[in-house]
């Protein structure tokens, strides 16, 4: 089962057409990844960045915007690992409003030591929490 978190479409997310301006979806997606790490991986961004000097920068993404989202709608974001590398993680992220599919995103991030900017292997306690599932067509 994918992890699911929610985000309400706010005035700040909307463009002159009163629909979500696409860069704002990536703020929502980043928050969904933040929630996934805090709730599932038990690694919150504050501890990682500020205390541990590690981070998870995004290195690539493929995104399709299927239909616009409107002011006041509540979107669900599902987050599921699809591939785990030595230092990387690929996530499938989908935004829905009810049954309506709005956004598909395949995002790869890397675990890096911030001081050097170099990738480092996932610690075992984190790696064990990345439970992959087959991607749906």
Distances from the Cα of 124 to the Cα of 43, 92, 129, angstroms? 12, 22, 9
Q: Which residues are 80's β-sheet partners?
A: 92
The nearer residue to a second copy, 71 or 131, going by C-beta atoms, is 71
The nearer residue to a second copy, 38 or 84, going by C-beta atoms, is 38
Residue of 72, 74, 92 lying closest to 82 (CA atoms) = 92
Residue of 107, 11, 13 lying closest to 58 (CA atoms) = 107
- Nearest distance in Å: CB 133, a second copy: 23
The nearer residue to a second copy, 42 or 128, going by C-beta atoms, is 42
Is 114 a binding residue for a second copy by CB under 8 A? The answer is yes
- What are the φ/ψ torsions at residue 135 (nearest 5 degrees)? -75, 140
Write out the residues near a second copy by the rule CB under 8 A.
Answer: 10-12, 14-19, 21-24, 26-27, 30-31, 34, 44-46, 49-50, 55, 57-65, 68, 70-72, 114, 117
């Amino acid at each position: 089962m994918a992890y699911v978190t929610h985000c309400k479409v706010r005035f700040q997310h909307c463009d002159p057409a009163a629909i979500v301006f696409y860069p704002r979806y990536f703020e929502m997606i980043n928050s969904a990844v933040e929630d996934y790490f805090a709730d599932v991986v038990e690694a919150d961004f504050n501890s990682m960045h500020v205390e541990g000097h590690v981070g998870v920068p995004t290195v690539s993404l493929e995104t399709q915007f299927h239909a616009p989202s409107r002011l006041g709608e509540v979107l669900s974001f599902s987050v599921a690992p699809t591939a785990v590398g030595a230092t990387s993680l690929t996530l499938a992220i989908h935004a829905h409003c009810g049954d309506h599919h709005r956004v598909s995103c395949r995002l790869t991030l890397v675990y890096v030591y911030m001081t050097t900017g170099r990738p480092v292997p996932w610690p075992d306690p984190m790696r064990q929490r990345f439970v992959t599932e087959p991607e749906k067509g």
